[in-house]
């Protein structure tokens, strides 16, 4: 899979991408939000996730992932992203999110996409709001940050685009 934005290319994760992605996710500005990195990351730790490497200016810039709920009564997608801090505030995140959002809504047929940044990750929340996500509420003690040895909150955010009614 390859998705093209205005300035980014999202490519299916390959083994050659692992080293650069591990270096990015280890940077303090990213690691603080992603917690401990599990063994097998990013190729084998979440087989249900579709992970795409973000390329900006032909360089690996980060990773965006999504999962899909296929039950027709609950169908939706969930996304998560990290970017090299050197590329923050340059439009790479907005272009990446817009590109994946378009794919999920138009090609994959979703009407709802969710994400769950930490409530104090203001940059991630601003990015999500630029993409059209709205705040739903705080999910308390919903993920264990083994690096800090504590349970952390997440801010549930969603983007809903209901299809036009026929007739």
Query: How many other CB atoms are there within 10 angstroms of residue 62's CB atom?
Result: 25
Q: pLDDT tens for residues 39-98?
A: 999 999 999 999 999 999 999 999 999 999 989 899 999 999 999 999 999 999 999 999
Question: Which residue ranges form the domains of the chain, and what is each CATH number?
Answer: 2-113 (3.40.630.30)
167/102 Cα distance (integer angstroms): 25
**Among the residues of the chain, which ranges form H helices?**
18-25, 28-34, 92-102, 122-130
CA-based R_g, the chain, Å: 16
Helix (H, G, I), strand (E, B) or coil at 59: strand
pTM: 0.92
Residue 110 reports pLDDT greater than 70: yes
Task: Answer whether 163's CB lies under 8 Å from 111's CB.
Answer: yes
Rounded to a whole number, what is the largest CA-CA distance in the chain? 54
């Amino acid at each position: 899979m390859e998705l093209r934005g205005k300035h980014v290319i999202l490519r299916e994760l390959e083994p050659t991408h692992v080293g650069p992605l591990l270096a990015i996710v280890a940077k303090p500005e990213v690691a603080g939000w992603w917690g401990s990195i599990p063994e097998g990351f990013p190729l084998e730790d979440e087989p249900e996730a579709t992970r795409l490497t973000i390329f900006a200016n032909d360089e690996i810039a980060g990773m965006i992932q999504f999962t899909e709920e296929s039950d027709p009564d609950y169908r939706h997608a969930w996304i998560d992203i990290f970017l090299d801090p050197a590329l923050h505030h340059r439009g790479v995140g907005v272009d990446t999110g817009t590109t994946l959002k378009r794919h999920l809504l138009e090609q994959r047929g979703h009407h709802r996409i969710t994400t769950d940044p930490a409530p104090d990750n203001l940059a991630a929340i601003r990015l999500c709001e630029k993409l059209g996500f709205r705040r739903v509420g705080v999910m308390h003690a919903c993920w264990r940050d083994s690096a800090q040895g504590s349970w952390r909150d997440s801010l549930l955010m969603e983007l809903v685009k209901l299809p036009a009614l026929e007739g």
